Amino acid sequence: MFQSSHPFLRIEIFKFQVSHQKLEIDLRKIKTEVEIQDKNDSRQSSRIKKPIYNENKQCIRFDAGLFTNIEREIFIRISYKDILYKFQSNLKAFQKLSDGFRHQISFAPKAQAEILIEYKDPSIPKDSQLQTKLHGQRYAERYQSVLKHFGHRFVAKIFKTPTFCSICGDLLWGFAYKGFQCQRCDCVIHKDCYDRGVHACTGKQYADVETMKEHHFQQQQFSLQTIFCDHDGSFIKPGHSYKCMECSMVVHRRCRSKVGHYCGYQGNALEAYEIWKKKHKSDPDYNYQYNGDLCEIYSRFDRFDQLNNVKEVIQRMSKLHHSNTTSGFQMNEIQFLTTLGFGMTGSVYLVKRGECYYAMKTLRKNLILEGQNLEYVKSERDILIQCRSNPFIVKLFYAFQNVERLFFLMEVARAGTLFNILEYQAPKPFKQDRIVFYTGEIICALIFLHSKRIVYRDLKPENVFLFDNGHVKLGDFGLSKQNVDNNHKTKTMCGTAEYIAYEIYHRDSYDENVDWWSLGILIFELSTFKTPFYANNSTDITRNVLSDQVIYPETMIKETRQIISGLLERDPKRRLGNIISPHGLLKDQPFFREPYTFDAIENRLVRPPWTPTSLISFKTKTKIPQLSELDPKDALLLLSTPEDTFRNFSYISQDLITFL
């Protein structure tokens, strides 16, 4: 095992699976080789190790050292049945996966491994390992709603190929015709059809359901006829169709074992498709030729000799589609300087237009729609507009769009985020006046949001932005919700695991008081560099929040412990921040003391106790970032977007005189 005074990554492989095989491969039957290559200007060296299966941990474990001034590459080679599977990555990029959760990495040829990566620093005592260093940046989640019926678990899905509902036979495709798919058996339906199914999931029998008849599938002869699966509704490649000899149901080879025992109860999707074509033949928006092109493209997509063939079809189809764009906007007027961050649906760039600098958040339309996030993006825009005059919230200057993306043009936080400061500061503790000052400005932002009936729902150091004058502002309103108060609550399960409030985990309806819980977690992390309910996985975090008591370090001062204790009340009515809380008002807490009283912070009567010196450079980097090209399949999918989907998204602030 790797032993050094330098930080290192402990990597554990728990599962390995070849793509075409359903069963997991016994890790004791594979041979693993790991090569670490050092790269610098003068020479290149490498070290090879051959880790073996650890019976106690039931995984293959090895370590990889991290060095400040040396770039390192990691190569993982796995041999199984005389086939060598390879994986390669930069070790710094690998470090970003050290978040306490298992991740899947892909090998070539097609194979996957499930790994867990842990950051280790021998120079730091074990009981004070820093989570901000150990686990990297944390990401928020929004849990999908599940429709349950006869064992099925249906979740919303965007279908990239023409697909048909297994109940009514109607079309499901793209962003105009949305559907649901069972997580267990892949059955596809409309939302309105989910409770009309007569069959249980994957043939499971229920006491109150009559015994159903099993299908008898036989492979069909090769045919170029366009056929769709009657189970998952998608296109079947020629030669891969199986037909029931009694009820004529046609399915993929992969779907045979997933179809319920309901022979004779289902219609034929191909017949429904033919009827659908006849009904819409004269419809200019959804005519047969339009969808016939789609079937042709997707069934032959991988066999096109040149990408231009695809582009020609897309261009021809685009004549029927009027894309949403911001009139008069030219992307070539914006100069990209550097990348500030990445997200699930886009990136944030430092850009320049004229003599002004901005942070430009880009969101890909296809990913927004596929992730069912459109309402959240629209809400973020509306909230930023409502808060444009508040000094404690990041300012939006401009919102615009082109065919492929949405853009937010905002002010630049040149000192980064509180999370960046935590990483830089650790393990040296923050001075108390800085913790008090940052907390006060965050409270001012939350009070303003709550006065507008907005619940923030994602308070954490990553979303608190630090400016060059030492002030902080709240940003990233992707999970915020409007029209929420004590009389109008919500139930969406969302947030960043370590910061989610008790009542959300308890699956209760909740209001703006969840933000005060998150504030208590944030103050605790600023004071100790760790969160009070942290665990290596979300299940344990949930259990800790629901049942564990907070353990305060002996070094924490009484006033800080008092405000955290009040904010982490499990009863929202008693929680500090609620106006009826028995703990009193936030602004009157002894935590705020001269000169950093709450009134002084709110009215900007005191200077920030610390001014950052390390700022984001406005100089152009050698490698200039560029927006990535949209995949042709995704470009085609965007053509299904209803014309008014992004209508009225564009916005320009009255403060943005220089941009015009």
Question: Any idea which residues carry the catalytic annotation?
Answer: 458
**Residue 465 burial by Cβ neighbours in a 10 Å radius (0-12, 13-18, 19+):** buried
Both tokens of residue 354?
């004229």
Long-range contacts of 159-163 (CB under 8 A, 24+ apart): 159/188, 159/233, 159/234, 160/298, 160/633, 160/637, 161/234, 161/235, 161/294, 161/298, 162/228, 162/234, 162/235, 162/291, 162/294, 162/295, 162/298, 163/188, 163/228, 163/232, 163/233, 163/234
3 state DSSP class of 111: strand
Residue pair 163/179 in contact (Cβ under 8 Å)? The answer is: yes
> Strand pairing partners for 582?
none
**248 — alpha (psi -120 to 50), left (phi > 0) or beta?**
left
* Distance in angstroms (rounded) separating the CA atoms of residues 132 and 420: 9
Q: Which H or E run includes 167?
A: none
Both tokens of residue 641?
């977007």
Other CB atoms closer than 10 Å to residue 539's CB: what's the count? 10
Both tokens of residue 554?
């002996």
553 prior amide bond cis, ω within 30: no
3 state DSSP class of 18: strand
* Distance in angstroms (rounded) separating the CA atoms of residues 361 and 376: 15
* Distance in angstroms (rounded) separating the CA atoms of residues 563 and 580: 16
Both tokens of residue 243?
């037909």
Biggest CA pair distance of the chain? 85
Residue pair 230/187 in contact (Cβ under 8 Å)? The answer is: no
Both tokens of residue 45?
């060296």
* Distance in angstroms (rounded) separating the CA atoms of residues 404 and 215: 44
